[in-house]
Structure 1
Amino acid sequence: MNEKKVFIGVSLAVLGFVAVLVINQSGALFSTMNYKGASNPSIPNYPINEQGQTYGQGPYPAGTTQVPDLISATGENGVNGYVKATDLNSNVSTPEEAYAYQKSMEELGYKSIPLYKSDGKTVIGEFRLYSSRRD
């Protein structure tokens, strides 16, 4: 029973990290994007890089669930670039992994992920996902 509570608590904490990420990054992580002739305006027409990854600001319009592979973000020292959507997930699958992830976030206060150019290969900086508990 306690493991379920820890897993649920950590899951909620991970959602909180993503919310803090959106708010902490100058409020500009999820802003609007022009569609450039998309046939269905509710589905973004993201550009595609040479690796076949979509990139841009998203999700847009509000209420859609489609997110590009590389999401526009402002990293440390004001560097603008893209983070991989997959890097924003905690990727935990057991209560033990969730607990370990939560402990590491509490100890460090953030999780650092690479900030890329739109090519999805060239690292240009660091993006930090801050813990919701910042003292």
Structure 2
Amino acid sequence: MRINLFVLALISLLLLAGCSQQETLKKTEDLVIPTFEYILENGYPVNDKGETYGPDMGNMMIIDEPDLILAQGENSIIGYVKKVEMDVPKPKTPEEAVKLNNPPPREVTLYDIDGETIIGTFWIGK
């Protein structure tokens, strides 16, 4: 729950910043972040490996989450987390559902736009 609020707050901030930009793609240091307008017009951009990347637009659009989701990790490093690494297993029993309701914090790798270069750590539930 806390991670969802954090990601939502980060996305909202990025959307506000993106909506005020005239560019279609903006670059933060060496990180390319697609703007809201760019994603609406063109869909998520794709890296050299064929992975889509950008902020998770949530219920704002009828577009699936990108393969690489924009996130802010430790030490305020901004990068991308892999959607498959963020997903949690679906519970098969009520007991499993209770355990998954309050999971311990876990570490997820923060990547550059290529989805390979590790640039930091992102914590879920910390």
TM value normalised by structure 2: 0.65
How many residues in Structure 1 have an aligned counterpart in Structure 2? 104
Match of 1:29 in 2: 11
Give the Cα–Cα distance (whole angstroms) in 2 for the partners of residues 125 and 98 of structure 1. Answer: 30
Residue 65 of structure 1: how far off its partner (Å): 4.0
SS of alignment partner, residue 28 of structure 1: helix
Residue 128 of structure 1: how far off its partner (Å): 0.9
Match of 1:118 in 2: 113
Match of 1:86 in 2: 84
Whichever structure has more strand as a proportion of its residues is 2
Give the Cα–Cα distance (whole angstroms) in 2 for the partners of residues 100 and 92 of structure 1. Answer: 11
Read off the aligned partner of 1:21 and give its amino acid letter. F
Match of 2:74 in 1: 76
Match of 1:63 in 2: 60
Read off the aligned partner of 1:64 and give its amino acid letter. M
Structure 2, unmatched stretches of 5+, are 16-34
Residue 50 of structure 1: how far off its partner (Å): 1.3
What's the RMSD between the two structures over aligned residues? Answer: 2.7
Give the Cα–Cα distance (whole angstroms) in 2 for the partners of residues 58 and 44 of structure 1. Answer: 15
Give the Cα–Cα distance (whole angstroms) in 2 for the partners of residues 71 and 88 of structure 1. Answer: 9
Say if 1:86 and 1:21 are closer, same or farther in 2 by CA, change over 3 A.
farther
Residue 121 of structure 1: how far off its partner (Å): 1.1
Residue 21 of structure 1: how far off its partner (Å): 3.4
**Percent of paired sites with the same residue:** 30
Give the Cα–Cα distance (whole angstroms) in 1 for the partners of residues 57 and 36 of structure 2. Answer: 12
Greater C-alpha radius of gyration: 1
Residue 70 of structure 1: how far off its partner (Å): 0.7
SS of alignment partner, residue 29 of structure 1: helix
By relative contact order (CA 8 Å, sep 6+), the higher-ranking structure is: 1
